[in-house]
Amino acid sequence: MSKSREAGRDENAGAGIFCIKKEYFMRWVKQTVGYWCEDIEQGSCLGNGVCAAILDTGICRHPDLKGAVLEFKDFTGRSPDLYDDSGHGTHVSGILAGRGVVSSGFYAGMAPEAELLVGKVLDHEGNGNVENVLKGIEWVKKCQEQYNVRILNISVGTQPDLGERQKKLFLDGVEDLWDRGIVVVVSAGNYGPGKGTVAVPGSSRKVITVGVPDTELPAVSRRKSRVNYSGRGPTGSCVVKPDVFAPGTGIISCNARYGKPGQHPYTMKTGTSMATPVVSGAIACLLSKYPDMSNVEVKLRLRESCVKSPGTEAGWGMLNVKNLMRA
């Protein structure tokens, strides 16, 4: 069990980050997925009233996430306080619901008014076991009514050599949450692009699986070649996956080490782990506009609103928020 192996080197966003042209990164992500629609620009549908659960490496006390966390629980230890000794979970949380406080909104997440329920199920290296993830899933079930949890983001996938019994337990767990009405959004994993490389639980027929298209990196990247790492279907049951695609390469979000000497507020990471909260955040915006939508209706709406583009032929297409929010 891991965060599906990062697809590229994580880069701490050093002093030069603030000289980067503003059309890139979170603004570039938002432009790519058609984020700037009337509902978003009016500020009326930014995830307000929506609670999203995240099972990952934890979350730190970053200024951009202040006030966003309703409850935190550590399944790898016994700490009652917010912490993230990996940084992965904080980065994911920032993409989904970061307020953008330090950057005056520039690096705000997709749904900056959403609230979070965060379970730490992975260790400082981003590794863990199915048992801890299942404990996290049970916790989300218990909290569902109390916090009106509408979304579960799992930017976590199993390694290919995991036993079949463990994979089945994981699949059963996420599908049980789906059956309880929660929109479960998971990453396709970074073991692609060969056929049958979608990581569990992204192979589930029910949940929404997010991949990254084969795309050019933003021009500021040190790498110039096309990126080709996202897990691909079909699954063992001949299910086409991923369902939806979103940017996940070179994404800048909250740095869990911010506050320590020499650390800046934002950092760069790459992987389907980063694309998943882009979709979860878009769904939070949708549910803030249509709070009575069921998870099945959300999935159908998402499928109908995607836009086919190069590198997304394996699924429905690229996420498009404007189409998603359209009445």
Residues serving a catalytic function are 56, 88, 273
- Other CB atoms closer than 10 Å to residue 304's CB: what's the count? 11
Q: Token pair for residue 45?
A: 């549908």
State the Rg of the chain over Cα.
17
Separation of alpha carbons 213 and 192, rounded Å:
11
What letters, b where the CB count within 10 A reaches 16 and e where it falls short, cover 82-105?
bbbbbbbbbbbbbbbbbbbbbbee
DSSP state of 258: B
**Which is nearest to 57 in space by CA: 2, 135, 113, 130?**
2
DSSP 3-state of 173: helix
**Which is nearest to 251 in space by CA: 266, 262, 234, 235?**
266
CB-based contacts of 280, cutoff 8 Å, min separation 6:
52, 96, 110, 111, 151, 153, 183, 185
The answer to whether the CB of 158 falls within 8 A of the CB of 190 is: no
- Sign of the four-CA dihedral 248, 252, 255, 261: positive
Q: Token pair for residue 171?
A: 């699949």
Alpha helix ranges (H) inside 246-294: 272-289
